[in-house]
Amino acid sequence: TETGVLGGTAAAFDEKSFIVGYQPFYTESWSALVIRHAGLAEKHLPEEYSVGSWEVALQGAVIGNKMISTQNDIGYTGDMPSITALANEETKIDLVAMAGFSKGQQCNLCFVPSGSSVSEPADLDGREVGVTTGSCTHRFILEVMDQEGIQPDLSDQGMATISTNVREGNIPVGVGWEPAVARSVIQQDAAEYAFTGASYDLYDAAGLLMLDSLVEDHPEAAKGWLKAELEAKHIMATDPERTMDLITQEGQLRGYDRETLRATLYENLDVGSGAQRLLFYTDYEAIDTANRLFKERAPEFLYENQGVIPRLPPEERYRVDLLREAIEELRAEADWNPLREAER
């Protein structure tokens, strides 16, 4: 799977050998794991193209930045880092598809130590809340603060640090994304879900990003990757057992029980007012809520509220044209439907 000791360096200088940035520790982007371990890229990419290396990142921002410096060609990132990447003025990066989508069930999760007295959003007022700024959890907590009129004390930490600190009771509240939260709740029985974005009608998503130069200069390869993405979604939506077999092949996740991993994909939360855990959609323009998330809510948050991006992402950075072509081609080639119901 990995290529050589210096594989990444060599691939960085080879246009037809892609470096893919992915996040094993972000359930919403796991279609990448399915592509990787089912060999879907090899299946769908034109012959002369290959995956030079799969680069693990623990945060979407790292992938976004590597794409900006053209060290990664393809990236799987949360909604916030996706927008940061789209808005940058250095390197053209396109949002070519959506890797995962949910009504606040993946990245808008508030959790507390087991047996904590904190259960309502109002209880957060004045308390220390661990959050990774710049991620989808950050937007979530700010929306909650806004709607509830509360003032928690935000402490910016990495996701792993937040879940350790919640589990050890060092901080009373954390907001986070899967699968780290499920590990604390299910596997270690040390924390519980308090509430999710669903209560506030908030959505979270993961984006599939490509360098615009890749899309422009190698459209067949880009289309091939999108086909792989669609097939991965098909597997995830229709064959949970095979999906779990593939996901658990990812060495990074060896600290996670299969059950914990399955829960993050397929088990709905008690506190999520019945929202489905993960929606296996790919065409964000076909889903109104997803479209608005990527084109309005997230960009406005980063641009107006946080002032951390220099401009709103230009319209032409959103391009699902190749995705649509890939869907059409797959409809002809495959005996399964590349789109979920709501996308049709």
Partner 1 sequence: METRRRLVRAASILAVPVLWLAVTRLGIVAGLPTPMAVASSFLEEFYRQDFWLSVARSTVRVLVSFVVAAAVAIPLGLLVGRYTVFADLTFPALEMLRPIPPIAWIPFTILVLPASELSIMFITFLGAFFPILLNTIQGARGVEVEFSRAAQSLGAGSFQTFRHVIYPSALPAIHAGMIVGMGLAWVNLIAGEMVAGGTGLGFLTWSAYTSGSYPTIIVGIITIGVLGAISSALVRLFANWQIGWREVESA
Partner 2 sequence: MSTVDRVKRRFDAGTVPVLTKRARQALSVVLFFVLWAVLVRLEILGFGRFVGPVPALSTFVSALLGAPMTGSGATIYQHAAFSAMRVVVAMVLATATAIPLGLVIGASRRWEDALFPALEVFRPVPPVAWVPIALLLMPTFRSGVIFVVFLGAFFPILVNTIEGVGTVDDEYLRAAESLGADSREVFRHVIFPATLPSIVTGVSTGVGLAWITVVAAEMIAGGIGIGYIIFQAYRLLQTDVVAVGMIAIGILGYASATVVYRIGNRLTEWQTVE
H/E stretch holding 243 reads helix 240-247
165 and 157 Cβ atoms separated by less than 8 Å: yes
135 binds partner 1 (CB under 8 A): no
Binding mask 124-163 for ligand BCT (x = CB under 6 A): -----------xx---------------------------
Instruction: With beta carbons less than 8 A apart as the criterion, state whether 193 and 269 touch.
Output: yes
Closest contact distance (angstroms) between CB of 177 and ligand BCT is 6
Alpha-carbon distance of 298 to 316, in angstroms, equals 17
308 binds partner 1 (CB under 8 A): no
Among positions 21, 81, 130, 179, the unique one binding ligand BCT when judged by CB under 6 A = 81
Residue of 104, 102, 301, 293 lying closest to 197 (CA atoms):
104
Q: How many CB atoms lie within 10 A of CB 122?
A: 10
Of 56 and 342, CB closest to partner 1: 56
Q: Cis omega (within 30 of 0) on the bond before 172?
A: no
Q: Per CB under 8 A, does 310 bind partner 1?
A: no
| Interacting positions 287-306 with partner 2 (CB under 8 A) | 306
Give the range of 10-18, 47-55, 72-80, 264-272 binding ligand BCT by CB under 6 A. Answer: 72-80
Among residues 52, 78, 100, 104, the one that binds ligand BCT under rule CB under 6 A: 78
Starting at the earlier edge strand, list the strands of the sheet with 93-102: 50-56, 17-22, 74-78, 204-211, 93-102
**Among the listed residues 281, 98, 129, 258, the one whose alpha carbon sits nearest the alpha carbon of residue 195:** 129
When binding is defined by CB under 8 A, the residue of 21, 52, 75, 81 that contacts partner 2 is 81
Q: Which entry of partner 2, partner 1, ligand BCT, none binds 56, CB below 5 to 8 A by partner kind?
A: partner 1
Q: What is the DSSP letter of 69?
A: T
How far apart (Å, rounded) are the C-alpha atoms in residues 305 and 263? 34
Q: Choose one: 33-41, 58-66, 77-85, 143-151; the region binding partner 1 (CB under 8 A).
A: 58-66
Stretch that binds ligand BCT, among 36-44, 77-85, 280-288, 332-340 (CB under 6 A): 77-85
Two tokens, residue 298: 């997230």
Q: Residue 100 interacts with ligand BCT (CB under 6 A)?
A: no
Tell whether residue 184 is a contact of ligand BCT (CB under 6 A): no
CA 219/CA 148 separation, integer angstroms = 46
Amino acid residing at 124:
L
Among 107-115, 117-125, 154-162, 216-224, which window interacts with partner 2 (CB under 8 A)?
154-162
For the chain, the C-alpha Rg in angstroms (whole number) is 19
- Residues making contact with ligand BCT (CB under 6 A): 23, 26, 59-60, 77-78, 80-81, 135-136
- Residues making contact with partner 1 (CB under 8 A): 2, 5-6, 8-9, 12-13, 25, 55-59, 62, 65-66, 68-72, 158-160, 164, 168, 180, 183, 187-188, 251-256
